[in-house]
Structure 1
């Protein structure tokens, strides 16, 4: 590492005392300040991965680290504190010093002790009742990456928690072993066991992948970004509707999805879908695209049924998505393919494309894009 400007380093499985001693020597030699020690001692399967004689050397390595990341079993061994509760995790973290104890085996709450301060990091998704392989490694690597970007330790742990939560949501299985995290972004949607939900997520993911691969799709993206939402049959609530947790945004002539597809991921388009389903239960999907007169003309050319609403006439204390969708459907005389508005003060004009599922909506949108070409 003599010819590299090493911003941060992370250790993983170091099987014996001799290896740990050598690593500690080299860390000191190269003056690596941002060292993250993942004291890999006990695997997800419960197998011991570190020679018992090496535990004291591991404590020495932790003592020179910026932060260490033991799981509950490892923290018990290293600190001597039996861990049954979050309070026990705090005691163990404090005992070890500059340590985040990972709580994936308890309540998915991680406990950081840093410079004498205790900080708790709760998981957005909670604990998954499945065997997941690689979460600890991904977590410590993400902390190291954030430290390399000059984040402080509490910020780095927060970013790593968010990243790992997202990777866990998209867990997958290769072969018959433990499930693994999707750290590489192989999937765009969360993983669920419910077949009906899986069908909705797969449909949205297919639609988004088709859109981002189409060279004309960028023509459709508004300043606020686009989203596609799709509901379960008979949906009544937002959490029965899935969409991107972020938006599809335009970067030059590319469309890039931000976030992941999950239930409750969309609010604006989900509310359009739920209101539309009150008039036609088969129309379970919608996508917002930008408004221009040319886009409305393209819709007419395609023979789409078009309706509109005026934001200036919206009654006070109503939701724009619900009121506007309802008014446009009622005034159309038949269920529309497209609903648009011309915006208002601080509100971007918008077109909403409606359909039976996300793929159908995507197909309509790309037909519009082809005419704009």
Structure 2
């Protein structure tokens, strides 16, 4: 039996290098569980180093594409990207109104990262008049917010004012992407409930291509699946953050966002959990109860590149001695350990390949067996522990 997936329509330009535009939109929609349909507004000759040329699609063929999709499919959400000129904008607005597409995410693409114009200057007023009133949310970056609001946006306070002015132009909500500002990136969603800050951290290999396209496509897909706007925005933010953190480098120029990083991350979480369960099975086959400390033990395993305790899996309630063997109190879960997770994260900061750790009972016999097994030994003395570390809960093991 065929499964129904929500149809998400991307109306945007084609990126011949595959790093942005319709290409990355369709990848994003597919990864997040939607069915991607596309209407191409213009062909671009571009790669990771920049845009070499733009060839707009004729209005007749643009209309033919729109009709082909909208008369056949029940589009649950649409997102727009590169629209190029006023004629394209008017035609897109006409069709979206006629077919009453329920959710429109409008990414007001004006200039490429390399500085090339992707929207003619005279088309901006048409965009405001025709499409802004149809949009559920408009997603400008900081330079686009400046162009739309009419003043420099250099702070979070200015983002709030800009979002308010842009919202007054007609859309139900505005989401300003703050990655161009200095400091940690923070986005602002301004809707009927007021401002909501979407905080993040600097990730990835510097400038990353395709982030705005992928973010808008993710937001449209979440809305198509029935999520309210605020939850959709938070999930889209998490999605794009992972795509930036694990960005790919297909050419000689800029890195490109990787929508499949989300899928790969989920698959890696499964592998980590299964590896811990397998390791526990090995422990159960042997009489290793004597190795368990009185407080219990925990065996943890981190995701590649883990940065927080939520990305380190361990055993809920620890592993304890049971007769001559061991028993676990709970199942494997991410975020189940604090102390051992902090140790692994500290070690990974120096050697990323060392992703697992387990605390065991200390004794001379344990040390001797470890030496006979050829394990490398290291130690630290709490007598050397600084006072500020000793006074901070959970800081001893990472310091050691």
Cα deviation 1:60-103 (Å, max 9, x = unaligned): 31221000101111111122132121111111111111111111
Say whether the 8 Å CA contact 1:89–1:101 is kept in structure 2: yes
CA distance in 1, matches of 2:111, 2:346: 51
In the alignment, structure 1 residue 27 sits paired with structure 2 residue 96: yes
CA distance in 1, matches of 2:345, 2:154: 44
In the alignment, structure 1 residue 332 sits paired with structure 2 residue 398: no
Cα deviation 1:22-46 (Å, max 9, x = unaligned): 1111111111121100111111222
Cα gap change, 1:64 to 1:219, in 2 (>3 Å): same
Question: Partner residue of 1:296?
Answer: none
Question: Partner residue of 2:145?
Answer: 75
Cα gap change, 1:245 to 1:25, in 2 (>3 Å): same
How far did 1:155 drift? 1.2
CA distance in 2, matches of 1:32, 1:227: 48
Question: Partner residue of 2:86?
Answer: 17
Cα gap change, 1:26 to 1:244, in 2 (>3 Å): same
In the alignment, structure 1 residue 228 sits paired with structure 2 residue 297: no
CA distance in 2, matches of 1:62, 1:128: 32
Say whether the 8 Å CA contact 2:302–2:313 is kept in structure 1: no
Say whether the 8 Å CA contact 1:12–1:40 is kept in structure 2: yes
Give ranges in structure 1 of 5+ residues lacking alignment: 190-204, 233-237, 250-256, 288-320, 338-353, 357-373
Say whether the 8 Å CA contact 1:104–1:127 is kept in structure 2: no
Say whether the 8 Å CA contact 2:302–2:312 is kept in structure 1: no
CA distance in 2, matches of 1:222, 1:166: 30
In the alignment, structure 1 residue 3 sits paired with structure 2 residue 80: no
Query: 2:242 aligned to 166, 171, 190, which one?
Result: 166
The alignment's C-alpha RMSD in Å is: 4.4
Say whether the 8 Å CA contact 2:243–2:262 is kept in structure 1: no
Q: Secondary structure at the match of 1:7?
A: strand
Q: Which fold has the larger relative contact order, with Cα–Cα distance below 8 Å and residues 6 or more apart in sequence? A: 2
State the TM-score, normalizing by the size of structure 2: 0.54
In the alignment, structure 1 residue 102 sits paired with structure 2 residue 168: no
Cα gap change, 1:58 to 1:218, in 2 (>3 Å): same
Say whether the 8 Å CA contact 2:205–2:255 is kept in structure 1: no
Length, aligned pairs only:
259
Which residues of 2 match residues 1-373 of structure 1 at below 5 A?
1-60=70-129, 61-97=131-167, 98-106=173-181, 107=183, 108-115=185-192, 117-123=194-200, 125-126=201-202, 130-185=206-261, 212=271, 220=278, 228-229=301-302, 245=311, 247=313, 267=338, 269-270=340-341, 286=356, 325-327=359-361, 330-335=364-369
CA distance in 1, matches of 2:299, 2:71: 47
Say whether the 8 Å CA contact 1:90–1:111 is kept in structure 2: yes
How far did 1:217 drift? 6.3
Q: Secondary structure at the match of 2:361?
A: helix
Say whether the 8 Å CA contact 2:186–2:199 is kept in structure 1: yes
State the TM-score, normalizing by the size of structure 1: 0.58
